[in-house]
Amino acid sequence: MTEPSYLAAVRESYDTVADDYAALVRSPSELDPLSRSLLTAFAELVRTADRGPVADLGCGPGRVTAHMAGLGVSAFGVDVSPKMVELARSAYPDLRFSVGSMTALEIGDDTLGGVLAYYSTHHTPPELLPVVFAEFHRTLAPGGHLLLAGHVGTGEHRRPAHGYGGHPVAYVSYRLPPHQLAELLHQAGFTVTAQLVQEPDEKRNWKFASFLARKPTDEEAA
């Protein structure tokens, strides 16, 4: 498919802020206890199902990918920003990282045991989320698991002029209601098994939500 136009702005923006992003964003070990627990639970679900590796989509500088590997999961990262991928490869040379888009993944059908989309889909225009979620579903093996986490709201969007480190950026951030994200996952063929909405805290002034979902096996889908 032709690359959606919004991806150019996301790619250029994250190439620009990559170094400061890596310096400013917290590592998984510094997250709140609930967020850390969900990552651990996701890793256990993937290990138990034993359907294949985990793709960390929108992996940024690779810290969450490395965290998954530290939890005993075979994991690799994909990001639309070449600069982010460069930082990830430098920091974690034993792991695999590649440049790519969630709208057209270069991953075979039914090959993944897990898809991790950790704060990486909120720049996707809502009308294109079905395309992204369809790619998640296509690449997951039957019985595979998805962890989707990100900012939520009431349908508003933000178009900041500056990002990490004060650099100019051109992306848009969309904050959809949790029930809308859950419904889109359902429409893509997922079974949502858990949903957690967390209120703003001293470090984040917006709501954020996490969804654990599963691609049904062929027997369950029949």
Confidence (pTM): 0.95
Name beta bridge partners: 98. 78
Can you give the pLDDT at residue 95? 98
Neighbour tally for 182: CB within 10 Å: 17
216 pLDDT higher than 80:
yes
72: its two tokens: 């005993």
82-97 confidence digits (pLDDT tens) = 999 999 999 999 999 9
Q: How confident is the model at residue 1 (pLDDT cuts 50, 70, 90)?
A: low
CATH 3.40.50.150 assigned to domain 16-53+106-221? The reply is yes
Report DSSP letters for 143-156, one per residue.
EEEEEEEEE--SSE
**Coil, strand, or helix at residue 96?**
strand
Does the pLDDT at position 221 exceed 90? no
Please report the pLDDT score of residue 19 as a whole number: 94
Structure token pair of residue 117: 């989309």
Nearest-Å Rg of the Cα atoms of the chain is 16
Q: If we measure between CA atoms, which residue out of 38, 33, 83, 40 comes closest to residue 62? A: 83
In this prediction, residues 162-178 reach a mean pLDDT of 91
Residue 222 has pLDDT above 70, yes or no: no
**Domain-by-domain residue ranges, the chain?**
16-53+106-221
- Supply 138's token pair: 């296509």
SS3 40: helix
Question: In the Cβ-directed half-sphere of 32, how many Cα atoms lie within 13 Å?
Answer: 12
Amino acid found at 38: L
CA distance 6 to 195: 28
Q: Which helix (H) or strand (E) holds 113?
A: strand 112-118
> Does residue 115 register a pLDDT over 90?
yes
Residue 21 has pLDDT above 70, yes or no: yes
**How confident is the model over 56-66, as pLDDT tens digits?**
999 999 999 99
- Residues 162 and 168 sit within 8 Å (Cβ to Cβ): yes
Nearest to 188 by CA among 165, 211, 169: 211
Direct distance between the N- and C-terminal alpha carbons of the chain, in angstroms, rounded to an integer: 30
pLDDT, tens digit (0-9, with 9 covering 90-100), for 123-132: 999 999 999 9
DSSP state of 177: -
pLDDT, mean of residues 98-120: 97
Kindly give the pairing relationship between strand 112-118 and strand 54-57.
parallel
